[in-house]
Chain A
Amino acid sequence: MNRLHTLFQKKQINILSVFFTAGYPKLNDTSFILKELEQNGVDLAEIGMPFSDPLADGPVIQHSSQVALQNGMSLKVLFRQLSGIRQHVSMPLILMGYLNPVLSYGIEKFLEDAHRLGIDGIILPDLPPEEYEEQYKSLFEKFSLSNIFLITPQTPDDRIRKIDGLSDSFIYMLSTSATTGTRKSGFDAHRNYFEHIRSMNLAHPLLIGFGIRSRETFEEACRYAAGAIVGTAFIEAISHDEDLSGQISNFVRSIRLK
């Protein structure tokens, strides 16, 4: 049992997850942002581990990643910043990023350190589920870390079932096949897809991500899933050179009333 399992046991609707890039806007904002998110009622947080070549990300997260790296962010620095985080923050925490820096750090050491610091889940979009199953699943289990997989409107049903079978907390459902920060379309076009996934009665809850940037889109997503994930819109909201605490609480309130 990790905190993700507890969360999804307690709560099945209106879950709000927020993604941000560690080291942005300032190198040492990480634990402050986490505390503020929790105080404003956010249910879980995804801490982005910046990468030089984020090929599934749009301009906003590309930029935040670049600034974070220029600020000196790295996995070593991030883990130092997160030591002691569990004295202040009790919501589930997820690390999300690309595979190369994790391989470079050493995947077992990465999982072990993440576990020691109180991390609950990992999202590595470029780690194939097949390779996870063959090579890493037992390590994730050893360190009580949930690996979270993505599905898109183009993912075939048999693969969704397989991913459901490999999951152990929730599934990250993309509203559309796109890089992050897309504003391609409203959700209307995806209603059939959402309905279809719901009708599959998967074993694990879903959080919808990509394109969630307002109360309307959040509420729409919550009609089809256990909740939703906000990334780009949050990063944009904290990009102004002002009071970080105020920007965070204004943003969270603009998405979901407590």
Chain B
Amino acid sequence: MNYEVSEKGFYGPYGGAYIPEMLVPNITQLRQSYRKILESEEFQRELQQLLRDFVGRPTPLYYASRLSERYGTRIYLKREDLAHTGSHKLNNALGQILLAKRLGKTRIIAETGAGQHGVAAATVCAREGMECVVYMGETDIARQAPNVARMKMLGAKVVPVTSGNKTLKDATNEAIRDWINHPEDTYYIIGSVVGPHPYPDLVARLQSVISLELREQLRKKTGNTDPDYILACVGGGSNAAGIFYHYLGHQAVHLIAIEAAGKGLDTNETAATIKKGRPGIIHGSKTYLMQNEDGQITEPYSISAGLDYPGIGPMHSWLYETGRVQFLSATDTEALKSALELTRLEGIIPALESAHALAALSMIPFKSSHTVVINLSGRGDKDLAAYTDYITETEKPNQ
């Protein structure tokens, strides 16, 4: 089975570039140049040096002994939370700004949900001295306030988006509109494996450093490059794409993607795209999305701003359909519970997004001999308000 993107930008029937003519020149330029630039020695030299000295890679692979004991298996955490800015998002933002520079662009735009991608974009823009405009839904501005403050301190302009549910989908619409209106000087650093070709492939390649490191780290720690299971949360699917990347052809490795079920799959307040959606077009890509019977995109819901998105990267639609990746989902409450569990067992406060991946630990019948890797995609500082509410709620003294 082939999981690679085709020449025309498709994964099976998914992907492509369903964009209005206004975006065609920019997308064409990117499509024609991204592989050449990414694969050039001079680009790789700059990228690798910055991944090491600026991002802090490789991120550690940590054996979580008490968590392992709790679940009766061997659990490793890939510590993307320890990357600079606190999530995997910087791997991508850094690679893309180096690309943008080589394309002669001077102005950067980005969308953000949890604010982690916005912070990553603002960070690399500060480093390059480039103008940075980040679109963020008003709902997310309110629930991820620390990241808004960080972006502003980094010198980015944060533009509140008020359409739809005022979340990631709406911020992405607005970033695309900005790009349409600035066809010449602007580069759009998209934050996940979504959008028109070549973005999904570009972002997956830049995130693939996660599984590249993982293979080597596992070999050193266990004597085997391949674990039995890899678990990752999926919003658009970039941290999952990154940690699955070098294992896609290794069929013995079970790849598990966890979507946000919000208040439950049986409610309308969910962001479980694969479970609740069907194929269509969102943000220029043919993929699964949540839509009503008339083909209108429905508003998603999740407590986690980074997973609160009605679409999913086209590669994941294909990985789902081919059965290569198994899709599970975790509710708000399951994610909160798992976040607190990790914190109390291992002394690590995870991002709410990553907590969805942790929640899947109780859903899979692992053996004690299994090696299980969880992509800990980000740290939870930004989510302290939600965690504090949850703790107050669950740990109030019995009356």
Interface residues of A (CB under 8 A from B): 51-53, 55-58, 62, 66, 69, 74-76, 98-105, 125-128, 131, 149-152, 154-156, 159, 174, 177-179, 182, 184
Contact = CB atoms under 8 A, between A and B. Distances in A.
Contact of B25 (A52, A57, A155): A155
A69 B289 CA distance: 19
Contact of B181 (A99, A149, A154, A178): A178
A150 B20 contact: yes
Nearest to B162: A59
Contact of B295 (A100, A125, A127): A100
Contacts of A104: 280, 291, 293-295
B281 A74 contact: no
Contacts of B184: 154
Contacts of B20: 55-56, 125-126, 150
Contacts of B181: 177-179, 182, 184
Contacts of B289: 100
Contacts of A150: 20-22
B282 A103 contact: no
* From A55, A66, A156, residue with most partner B Cβ within 10 Å: A55
A128 B197 CA distance: 12
A55 B22 CA distance: 11
Contacts of A149: 21
B22 A56 contact: yes
B328 interface: no
A149 to B, nearest CB: 7
A51 B296 contact: yes
Contacts of B19: 126, 128
Contacts of A155: 21, 24-25
Interface stretch (B125-133, B169-177, B318-326): B169-177
Contacts of B280: 100, 103-104
A125 B21 contact: yes
A196 to B, nearest CB: 16
A104 B20 CA distance: 19
B164 A53 contact: yes
A149 B181 CA distance: 19
B150 interface: no
A149 B20 CA distance: 10
22 contacts: A51-B296, A52-B296, A53-B297, A55-B176, A55-B180, A57-B177, A69-B296, A74-B296, A100-B291, A100-B295, A101-B294, A103-B281, A103-B295, A104-B293, A105-B295, A126-B281, A126-B284, A128-B17, A128-B19, A155-B25, A174-B22, A179-B180
Contacts of B176: 55
A49 to B, nearest CB: 10
Main secondary structure on A side of the interface with B: loop
Interface residues of B, number: 32
Interface of B: 16-22, 24-25, 163-164, 169, 173, 176-177, 180-181, 183-184, 280-284, 289, 291, 293-298
B236 to A, nearest CB: 15
Contact of B16 (A75, A100, A128, A159): A128
A126 B181 CA distance: 16
B18 A127 contact: yes
Most buried by B among A62, A66, A99, A128: A128
A75 B173 contact: no
A75 B292 CA distance: 12
Contacts of A131: 16
A117 to B, nearest CB: 18
A76 B294 contact: yes
A76 to B, nearest CB: 7
A151 B21 contact: yes
Contacts of B293: 104
Contacts of A98: 281
B163 A62 contact: yes
B297 A100 contact: yes
A128 B280 CA distance: 15
A258 to B, nearest CB: 33
B18 A99 contact: yes
A105 B291 CA distance: 12
Contact of B296 (A55, A101, A125): A101
A62 B162 CA distance: 12
Given A55-B20, A55-B177, A154-B24, 19 more contacts: A53-B169, A56-B22, A56-B177, A99-B18, A100-B280, A100-B281, A100-B289, A100-B295, A101-B295, A103-B280, A104-B291, A105-B295, A125-B21, A128-B16, A128-B19, A149-B21, A152-B183, A155-B25, A179-B181
A126 B18 contact: yes
**Which 10 A/B pairs are nearest by Cβ-Cβ distance?**
A104-B295, A101-B295, A125-B20, A150-B21, A177-B183, A74-B294, A52-B296, A154-B25, A56-B20, A100-B281
A179 B177 contact: yes
A101 B297 CA distance: 9
Contacts of A53: 164, 169, 173, 282, 297
A75 B25 contact: no
B295 A55 contact: no
Given A53-B169, A100-B281, A126-B281, A152 B295 contact: no
